[in-house]
A and B are shown apart, each in its own frame.
Chain A
Amino acid sequence: MTTTHPEPTARPDPHGPAESSPSVSTAPTVPKLPKLEDPRTTPTLTGTVHRTRSTRVLGLAGAVGLLVLTVAVSLALGNRDIPLDVVFAALTDRVDGNTLHNIIWDQRLPRTLVGLLVGAALGVAGTLMQGITRNPLADPGLLGVNAGASLFVVLAITVLGITSPSGYIWFAFAGAAAAAALVYAIGAIGREGATPVKLALAGTALTYGITSIVTLILISSTEATNAFRFWQVGSLASRGAGTWGLSWLLLVLLGVGLGLALLSGRSLNLLAMGDDLARGLGANLTLARGIAAVSIVLLAGTATSLAGPIVFVGLVVPHIIRPLIGGDYRWILGYSLFVGPVLLLAADVVGRLVARPGELEAGLVVAAVGAPVMIAIVRRVKLAGL
């Protein structure tokens, strides 16, 4: 396992000449994680930094623009397409009784808002997870989060008789948080820490075990089956109706999660260099991992409680961003905040358009697109132990 994370010095500097990393030739056979360039080598070349910095700012502006565009499309398209000027009029000057305005306010706006929040939470949580585990396959959904939420939701339906999606929220949150903590704890035991395979298998094991229990509960209750199967496919729509009554506490938790995540950028950069070097540079690894873990639990928990189980968004987002802007986690996290919602809202819009007059849930669209991406990543990246 010593070859898992090559020393940063053994990695060619992506921005500069070879002499800035003199030991390149000493370990030519060490497998490299191409995505984890060391951002701290750039300050030696101020010109490069300037250019990169302006490119990154420009890119971020582009991401924000893309998000605005996606939001507009999400408000405009659907079972019934609404022209953009009507959308604008509805937002600025709502006329009571106008059908189109009502569609915008009662359906499109809530689900777009849910998509924004959930997409940002999943994108940032995925980036954080890949950062602290140094694992390009980490994703909140792969780690048993959804299974934990499912179990608690089923129990809420059967034991407490709650059948409205807005009523599940806190159960989904608690289940997701508990499962994430358990899987991470089991995966992190051992000298080499949380490796891709260990986390994926611990998540899978928990998922299968919980699925057995959930099935047992479901086959004894038709009502629970009916309520649960619609929750089980992640969606922005059915949850939308409850959005205006959205709990402030949930928003606060989401905000705290995002805040902690954005503060973690620097420590993720240190962690990317390997534990020993990070410690040598004065990082408090336990504290850094702890803050990131709390943030992941908050983000994944709120996302799952708002939209149900959605896999792959967290997995894919960092992989889209890294080739564009490099490996500095402070920037990747900032970009995730916008790229995540773009992906999720785009999936939601596609789901609305492909199956008119019905619609395909966003969770299904994301999984259909995400699985090939995951396979491509596994084929391309030399993972630990692959």
Chain B
Amino acid sequence: MTRTEQALPAGAPGVLSAARAQTATRVRTVTLVLVGLTVALSLATLVWGGHASDLWNQILAVFGAGNGEGAFTITKLRLPRVALSLGVGVAFGVSGALFQSVLRNPLASPDIIGISGGASLAAAFGLLVLGVSGIALSVFAFAGAVVVAAAIYLLAWRDGVSGYRFVLIGVGIAFAVNAGIGYLLTRAEVNDVRSALVWMVGSIGTPPWPDVGVLSVALLVLAPLVAVTVKRLRILQLGDELAGGLGVSAERARLAVLAVAVALAAVATAFAGPVAFVAFVSAPIARRLLPTAGLALVPSALVGTVVVLAAEFTAQYLLGSLEVPVGIITGVIGAPYLLWLLATSNRGGRGA
């Protein structure tokens, strides 16, 4: 926007405010469309497969006023699925946006730099060696993600943390973590191995209500922290020196943002597994939809929910009898997107 302002003659405020109004309208439209998509996908997930004549009863059931078998399916089986999808989508979307902004690298996200891998290793250990499940498994995954993130941060520290160093050390750790997972997989019962594989690719399925409750509480706790750190992140984006001049310690601000981002990713991973690429693709998609560059946290969160809901919808209803974890859908779509992004950004000469 600053360039536009400079280019304009002094006596053209009308043009400027018109341009601003246009931008604001675009942002509002995009946000509304994303909200609309989220609501539509949620409702579709809830009532899919029912009779059209029963639709009203089903919609009542969503709000707890329905009756009969359909109502049971909706409130006990599908509503928690939708709720968890929403929470996981928001958490991954915001987490990815924070990571990518603070490391100034569109390709830094928890699933690529080994943080999800840490969760997988810990979960595989819990599942295959200790035989835990449910909330205990979630605790393992959460701890694994946090420990690996802390390790990457400490190892990448050399008079501060640079984005590329963080990413490359993360990639190295991801490979080591994979070896650990390989070890566990070869030493376990083959049937347990399959459930570990399903967990590690990311799945939502039919979660119990307590899971949804814990995730919601965690997100409510993290929301104000996100709001606080985002202020410092905005100052950070002016550059380290300017931020220092404004009284914000760049390294401490970065650490705070990374900590919140890791917490979000770890919470989401704890309940749904590392759903591939959601954290990675949400923010870039959101930024491409919007006319201005920037953090775009709310649109990123919304894109995250849309991606997870759409993938879960595809996995549950569109692939017939095949039971597919949601992470496979996102991975199969996300990988070509990442390669395409690499290819196109390279061609412009600004490749990572």
- List the interface of chain A (C-beta within 8 A of B): 137, 141-142, 186-187, 189-192, 195-198, 200-202, 204-206, 208-213, 215-216, 218-220, 222, 225-226, 229-230, 232-233, 311-312, 360-361, 363-364, 367-368, 370-371, 374-375, 378-379, 383, 385-386
Known A-B contacts A206-B339, A232-B182; the reply to A200 vs B276 at CB < 8 A is: no
In the bound assembly, the distance between CA atoms of A268 and B186 in angstroms comes to 40
Chain B CB within 10 A, most for which of A200, A222, A370, A375: A375
Given contacts A216-B324, A222-B190, A378-B168, A208 and B176 within 8 Å (CB-CB): no
In the bound complex, residues from chain A placing their C-beta under 8 Å from that of B317 are: none
Q: How far is the CA of A386 from the CA of B105 in the complex (A)?
A: 12
Chain B positions 270 through 303: 1 when the CB is less than 8 Å from some CB of chain A, otherwise 0: 0000001100000000000000000000000000
Closest 10 A-B residue pairs measured CB to CB? A209-B335, A212-B331, A190-B346, A367-B179, A371-B176, A205-B338, A374-B172, A233-B182, A189-B346, A191-B349
From the candidates A186, A189, A212, A311, name the one contacting B276 in the complex (CB within 8 A). A212
> Does B191 have its Cβ within 8 Å of any Cβ on chain A?
yes
Distance of B134 from chain A, by nearest CB (Å): 20
Query: Can you name 30 A-B residue pairings with CB atoms under 8 Å?
Result: A186-B346, A189-B343, A192-B351, A198-B346, A200-B167, A200-B171, A201-B171, A201-B338, A202-B339, A204-B171, A209-B338, A212-B330, A212-B335, A213-B332, A215-B325, A215-B327, A219-B194, A219-B325, A225-B194, A230-B186, A232-B186, A233-B179, A360-B183, A364-B179, A368-B179, A374-B169, A379-B169, A383-B168, A385-B164, A386-B162
CB of B70 within 8 Å of the partner chain: no
Contacts of A141 in B (CB 8 A): 175
A351 to B322, CA, bound (A): 40
| B77-112 vs A, Cβ < 8 Å mask (1 yes, 0 no) | 000000000000000000000000000000100011
Are the CB atoms of A137 and B168 closer together than 8 Å? Answer: yes
Among residues of B, the one whose C-beta sits closest to the C-beta of A183 is: B339
A311 lies within 8 A of B175 (CB): yes
Q: Is the CB of A378 within 8 A of B165?
A: yes
Between A216, A370, A379, the greatest number of chain B beta carbons within 10 A of the residue's beta carbon is seen for: A216
For the complex, what is the distance from the CA of A361 to the CA of B184, rounded to whole Å?
Answer: 12
Residue from the set B156, B167, B168 with the largest chain A CB neighbour count within 10 Å: B168
Q: Within the assembled complex, what's the spacing in Å between the Cα atoms of A368 and B277?
A: 26
Which of B197, B346, B347 has the most chain A CB within a 10 Å cutoff? Answer: B346
Q: How far is the CA of A200 from the CA of B342 in the complex (A)?
A: 11
Minimum CB–CB distance from B106 to chain A (whole Å) comes to 10
Q: Which residues of B contact A218 (CB under 8 A)?
A: 194, 197
* Contacts known (A232-B185, A367-B178); A190 close to B351, Cβ less than 8 A: yes
Which of A204, A232, A367, A370: most chain B CB closer than 10 A? A204
Are A209 and B168 touching (Cβ within 8 A)? no
Q: Given contacts A205-B335, A205-B339, A212-B327, could you give 16 more A-B pairs where the C-beta distance is less than 8 Å?
A: A186-B346, A196-B168, A201-B338, A206-B339, A212-B335, A213-B328, A215-B200, A215-B201, A219-B197, A219-B325, A226-B190, A233-B182, A311-B175, A364-B183, A367-B178, A374-B172
- Which chain A positions have C-beta within 8 A of B338? 201, 205, 208-209
Q: How many residues of B contact A (CB 8 A)?
A: 55
Contact between B168 and A222 (Cβ–Cβ < 8 Å)?
Answer: no
Count, A-B residue pairs, CB within 8 A: 175
Contact A375 B155, CB 8 Å, known A213-B332, A216-B328, A368-B179: yes
Contact of B347 among A142, A190, A364, A367 (CB under 8 A): A190
One digit per residue, 1 when the CB lies within 8 angstroms of any chain A CB and 0 when it does not, for chain B 124-147 equals 000000000000000000000000
Let me know if B173 is at the binding interface, CB within 8 A. yes
Q: How far is the CA of A212 from the CA of B274 in the complex (A)?
A: 12
Q: Is the CB of B158 within 8 A of A379?
A: yes
Complex CA gap A255/B191 in Å reads 41
B66 contacts partner chain A, Cβ-Cβ < 8 Å: no
**Is B193 in the interface zone, CB < 8 Å from A?**
yes
Chain A residues in 8 Å Cβ range of B277: 208
| A378 partner residues in chain B, CB cutoff 8 A | 165, 168-169, 172
Q: In the complex, what residues of A have CB within 8 A of residue B352's CB? A: 195, 197-198, 201, 385
Q: Please measure, in the bound complex, the distance between the C-alpha atom of A198 and the C-alpha atom of B171, giving whole angstroms.
A: 12
Cα A74 to Cα B277 with chains together (Å) = 43
Q: Are B173 and A371 in contact (CB under 8 A)?
A: yes
Q: How far is the CB of B284 from chain A (nearest CB, A)?
A: 13
**Residue contact A229 to B168, C-beta cutoff 8 Å:** no
Interface check B11, CB cutoff 8 A: no
Q: Is B198 among interface residues, defined by CB-CB distance under 8 A?
A: yes
B85 to chain A, nearest CB (A): 18
Residue contact B179 to A220, C-beta cutoff 8 Å: no
On whether the beta carbons of B328 and A215 are closer than 8 Å, the reply is: yes
CB-CB under 8 A from A375, the residues of chain B are 155, 169, 172-173
B336 within 8 A of A: yes
Contact residues in B for A195 (Cβ distance below 8 Å):
351-352
Chain B residue contacts of A206, Cβ below 8 A: 335, 339
Check A204–B351 contact: CB distance below 8 A.
Answer: no
Q: Are A212 and B165 in contact (CB under 8 A)?
A: no
- Decide: A371 and B172 in contact? CB cutoff 8 A: yes
B190, A208: Cβ atoms closer than 8 Å:
no
Of A197, A210, A363, A379, the contact of B335 (CB 8 Å cutoff): A210
Contact between chains at A197 and B168 (CB < 8 Å): yes
- In the bound complex, CA of A208 to CA of B278 (Å): 12
A175 to B191, CA, bound (A): 27
Residue of A nearest to B157 (CB): A379
Known: A142-B175, A225-B194, A367-B179. A233 touches B335 (CB 8 A): no
- CA distance in complex: A375, B169 (Å): 6
Q: For the complex, give the distance between the alpha carbons of A361 and B179 in Å.
A: 10
Taking CB as reference atom, which chain B residue is nearest A367? Answer: B179
Q: Please determine whether A201 and B112 come into contact, CB atoms closer than 8 angstroms.
A: yes
Interchain nearest-CB distance for B325 vs A (Å) = 8
Closest residue of A by beta carbon distance from B187: A358
| Contact between chains at B171 and A215 (CB < 8 Å) | no
Q: How far is the CA of A229 from the CA of B188 in the complex (A)?
A: 10
Known: A222-B191, A225-B194, A225-B197. A202 touches B179 (CB 8 A): no
- Report the Cα distance A212→B329, complex, angstroms: 8
CB contacts (< 8 Å) of B191 on chain A: these are: 222
A202 B342 Cβ-Cβ under 8 A: yes
Given that A212-B201, A383-B168 are known contacts, is A225 also in contact with B190, CB under 8 Å in the complex? Answer: yes
Q: Are A197 and B167 in contact (CB under 8 A)?
A: yes
Contact of B112 among A198, A204, A210, A225 (CB under 8 A): A204
The residues of A that contact B174 with a CB separation of less than 8 Å are 204
With a 10 A CB-CB cut-off, give which of A198, A212, A378, A383 has the most chain B CB atoms. A212
Whole-angstrom distance between the alpha carbons of A41 and B228 in the complex? 57
Chain A: minimal CB distance from B190 (Å): 5
